[in-house]
Amino acid sequence: TNKFAGVTSDISERGLAVLLERPEFIPYDTDVDLAVNYLDYHADVSARVFHVGQSESGWKYSFKITHMTEENKRTYFQIVFDREHTLPKFIHSGFVKDVAEIVNGQMKHSHVSNRKLPRVPLNKVIAAQDGRQIRVINYNYEYILLSGVFGGEALTLSCGSDIVIYCIPLSCKPIENATLCRIENWREAAENPKLREFLVG
């Protein structure tokens, strides 16, 4: 299991946001374990990613808390309220208000991006198995945007000596001479650290 260390940028009773230095793969369709530390407090919570975005400080992963024991809940709330007392700008930021509204289902869909994986700009040339050189515009582990028009043609891209990704163009019309593809083996590929090193560095 991969472990990542980050800095909490926003926190509330229902959720928190964590800044990571790199665009890590954190599954959005299953709960993950978070260890939240502040001063002498430590709380273990289960949470699920509901939004990922890039900021000047790094990659911001927003989590909705899904479960915590009563003991961890007491400690976690102590962290929230201690931070509220000492760092009110975190608690009263617009983001935390958004977290509460999203969790409660009160925010309109048009106001919230549903991006749950980091979209990484690459502008990198990768070799296809048929020998063609294809430029990757961006990538988010599950989907990849390729320069050029490929229609319904399936593509196999070589990402290092022992990693391949199978790209299936979507039926939507190409935009600005580019083709959006779904990576057929995206889950297997995303969990391979060699792929991340090859693409993202």
Q: Looking at the predicted structure, is the pLDDT value of residue 140 above 70? A: yes
As annotated, the residues of the chain forming the CATH 2.40.10.220 domain(s) are 7-111, 120-199
Percent of the chain's residues with pLDDT above 90? 58
User: pLDDT-based confidence at 174, cuts 50/70/90?
Assistant: low
Single pTM value for the model: 0.79
CATH superfamily of 7-111: predicted glycosyltransferase like domains (2.40.10.220)
Best-predicted range by mean pLDDT (62-66, 185-189, 193-197): 62-66
DSSP per-residue letters across the chain: ------EEEEE-SSEEEEEESS-----SSS-EEEEEEETTEEEEEEEEEEEEEEETTEEEEEEEEEE--HHHHHHHHHHHHHHHHH-HHHHTSHHHHHHHHHHTT-S-GGGS----S--EEEEEEEEETTS-EEEEEEE-SSEEEEES--TT--EEEE-SSS-EEEEEE-SSPPSSSEEEEEETTHHHHHT-HHHHHHHT-
Q: Convert the pLDDT of each residue in 27-50 to its tens digit.
A: 999 999 999 999 899 999 999 999
CATH superfamily of 120-199: predicted glycosyltransferase like domains (2.40.10.220)
